Structure 1
Amino acid sequence: MDTEKNHSTESQYTIIEECVRDLDLDKSTTELLQNPKRELKVSIPVRMDDGSVKVFTGYRIQHNNAMGPMKGGIRYHPEETVEIVRSLAAWMTWKCAVLNLPLGGAKGGIICDPKKLSRGELERLTRGYMGRIWKFIGPETDVPAPDVGTDASIMGWLMDEYARLSGEYKPGIITGKPIRIGGSLGRTEATGRGGVLTIREAAREIELELKGATVVVQGFGNVGMYSALLARNMLNCRVIAVSDSRGGVYNPDGLNLEEVIEHKAKTGSVKGAPNTQDVGSAEVLEIEADVIIAAALEDAITAENAGRIKTKILAELANGPTTAEADRILEDRGIIVLPDILANAGGVTVSYFEMVQNRTLDYWTEQQVNQKLEQKMVEAHHEVFKTSRARGISMRKAAYIVAITRVVEAMRLRGWLDL
């Protein structure tokens, strides 16, 4: 494995090592949990608009399929690394397991800046990537989905390229597709909705009145935007600050979210939205609020700023926003952290629903999707909360205990540990 790890990766390794000791797992079981089943590194030549050819590097890492076909998004990001993709693939295994989905974990990524590519270049890159990985994925093997830097249109290209290469039309090869070609209603806002549902359940447990409760959202992309809207519309909370990579905005009386969204659509950032005061992207986390939603990238909350965070509930709607050191500080301060593998699992849950709909050709209404999502999120939250209280451990460690126990049981039942 690479010697250089980001802090969020180290946090995952740390918590897994603790759970392995608590569950008294042997060395071979531990190695199966820690090491991916398969790692693909591919080179993708792309004809650029100026006639030149540029070679991009891509990855698809398949972590564990003990509980079912592997599942995980594809990221387009200029700072993508194999270590990040490897870590996120494992996260998907735990996320699927804690939601009790019959799926394993995988992740993919291409080192690129999608904002600097034309639509034609983006499509050629996407189809080239599928050309390198298509023999290793499938509805019964590994099902990709959108992630940072990708969207439904990119999933459509991937599905079409798979059909061209394989000669078979299989909408279930990809999730997060446009509705017209087999996507699921409710998928776009699913991660935000799932996170808001976990916030609601946690607030009930600590008797926090959510009507009028203040909310801060770091990361106002798709997940952050929908979590803000749903926190206001579902929970009657008051969203007082949001941020993106260019800056943040604050209004103690509550933001007009529609104005902020319109401003971002016009300018590319929430910064400077009407009737707000500007704050820094990182400083937004230090605004006092009843609930803070971390929906940006990894390592947003560190030992350096954890002591300045003032909230009752911190919901991780990004993957790995909190380092191990910060996690200990937050726990010591009595802040409830809703861990990423639980709080942001709404997206993969509705992706699973999309897989089911693709297989049965029976497509559900948005209300049906949302009802099924609520049932899965509430069940998972209560299982983690029960484990947390029974063992006297944090919600994060409890979530990993639940997930690892289920994956290990599946490995044992399949005979992997008896060979």
Structure 2
Amino acid sequence: MQNIFEMAKKPLEQASQILRLDQNVSSLLAHPERTLEVHIPVRMDDGRLEIFTGYRSQHNTALGPAKGGIRFHPGVTMDEVKTLAFWMTFKCAVLNLPYGGGKGGVIVDTRKLSRSELERLARSYMQKIMPVIGEHQDIPAPDVNTDSRMMAWMMDEYSKYQGYNVPGVITGKPKTVGGSAGRGSATGRGVMFCIREAFKKMAIPMKEATVAVQGFGNVGGFSAKLLFDAGAKIVAVSDMYGAIYNQQGLDPYDIERHVKETGSVAGYRRAETMTNGQLLELPVTVLVPAALEGQITSGNADRIQARIIAEGANGPVTPDADSVLAGREIMVIPDILANAGGVTVSYFEWVQNLYRYYWTEKEVHARQEDMMVDAFAKVYEAAERYRTSLRVGAYIVALERLSEAMRLRGWL
């Protein structure tokens, strides 16, 4: 099986060839600027000392300080963290944010930790990565199995060592300690904006669209609710326990209530059950894979029936599958555009922290919409100009900005 980081670089190579860029640009972007591995001792509730392994990768800072989430998961690897940091570099460049890409992670099953153990791990991880973190150096955020409460712990730990409050060191915090209005729905809202703009290009009325969403977490859940609010028909959703389907349509708000009561979409009374694999192959207008990477591969790409795939997750479509989907004229809105709403509003939070001046939720939504709509237009125009996919079009937009910044800074 090909290394995930090597797979991620495929569209970079394609875009570089189209733009006929200096080979030095690709060489610089093919490697992270810095990777850090740390070992984190944590005193457990029973008195044992357990050592956890954590990572932080800073991919490229030509456009500004590194930016990217922290995930706590048993499957975290350095290659995964490097890949996610790589994607963040391009995501920020596509949205024209003054950031480079960063990412972090800790190998841990959070379900096995008590609240106090989790807090000690979060604070200890921040202590270990503190030499490379800072509001003008590298700004983390939540990711898989981390949340706003944990960001508050990490911000507090960093601030203790500095001797004063530093809210801008991390984003995704609760509003009371410097978080931004509109952050919770930001990624899903960005997915909705991109789908809406794609519909305009393809002359598809929102009210005639059907949608299947793989993954009913934060990104998938908000994507489903916001598309539902806009008039689309949600016909299927799923989580790790299975998928539910109703051709007549589902109410994602009612499903959310069911999930709060039962812990899963499974067993929802107004739908039939199916597998996640079957959900991916439904004949819908839009498929939103918002779960894990590598869901659509060369093994199932020829059975995908959606007209549009909007990548709510990072890397849900493999490079081999991309080729198959392009041949079948299925539009793929790439992750570095579709799910960039989260980092966009994280940028807003950072700006608000630096100025100590906070915006209303209405202002946040309006600013996010302006930036996402503009980014979609530029990516679409690049794809049309070079007769390529939206994914390569997004990398072209990002590469033009990154290569210019590196040239002006004298890196090339």
Counterpart amino acid of residue 77 in structure 2: T
SS of aligned partner of 2:76: coil
Alignment-derived partner of residue 181 in structure 1: 177
* Mapped pair 1:215 → 2:215: no
Q: Structure 1 length as normaliser, TM-score?
A: 0.97
Deviation of 1:131 after TM superposition, in Å, equals 0.7
* 1:315–1:339 CA contact under 8 A, matched in 2: yes
Counterparts of 2:264 and 2:109 in 1: how far apart (Å)?
Answer: 18
Deviation of 1:26 after TM superposition, in Å, equals 2.8
Alignment-derived partner of residue 325 in structure 1: 320
Deviation of 1:262 after TM superposition, in Å, equals 1.6
Alignment-derived partner of residue 404 in structure 1: 399
Alignment-derived partner of residue 107 in structure 2: 111
Alignment-derived partner of residue 308 in structure 1: 303
Deviation of 1:324 after TM superposition, in Å, equals 0.5
* 1:259–1:273 CA contact under 8 A, matched in 2: no
Deviation of 1:330 after TM superposition, in Å, equals 0.7
SS of aligned partner of 1:144: strand
Q: Among residues 155, 160, 163, which one is paired with 2:151 in the alignment?
A: 155
SS of aligned partner of 2:9: helix
* Mapped pair 1:227 → 2:223: yes
Counterpart amino acid of residue 208 in structure 1: I
* Mapped pair 1:341 → 2:336: yes
Question: How much identity, in percent, do the aligned residues show?
Answer: 52
* 1:217–1:241 CA contact under 8 A, matched in 2: yes
Counterparts of 2:46 and 2:208 in 1: how far apart (Å)?
Answer: 54
Counterpart amino acid of residue 175 in structure 1: T
Counterparts of 1:29 and 1:262 in 2: how far apart (Å)?
Answer: 49
* 2:285–2:306 CA contact under 8 A, matched in 1: yes
* Mapped pair 1:37 → 2:33: yes
Counterpart amino acid of residue 180 in structure 1: T
Corresponding pairs, count: 412
SS of aligned partner of 1:106: strand
Counterparts of 2:108 and 2:89 in 1: how far apart (Å)?
Answer: 25
Alignment-derived partner of residue 359 in structure 2: 364
> Which structure 2 segments of 5+ residues have no match?
none
SS of aligned partner of 2:228: helix
Q: What is the alpha-carbon root mean square deviation over aligned residues? A: 1.1
* 2:236–2:243 CA contact under 8 A, matched in 1: yes
> Which structure 1 segments of 5+ residues have no match?
none
Counterparts of 2:37 and 2:7 in 1: how far apart (Å)?
Answer: 25
* Mapped pair 1:64 → 2:24: no
Q: Structure 2 length as normaliser, TM-score?
A: 0.98
Counterpart amino acid of residue 413 in structure 1: L
SS of aligned partner of 2:199: helix
Counterpart amino acid of residue 403 in structure 2: V
SS of aligned partner of 2:211: strand
Alignment-derived partner of residue 278 in structure 1: 273
Alignment-derived partner of residue 256 in structure 2: 261
SS of aligned partner of 2:117: helix
Counterpart amino acid of residue 67 in structure 2: K
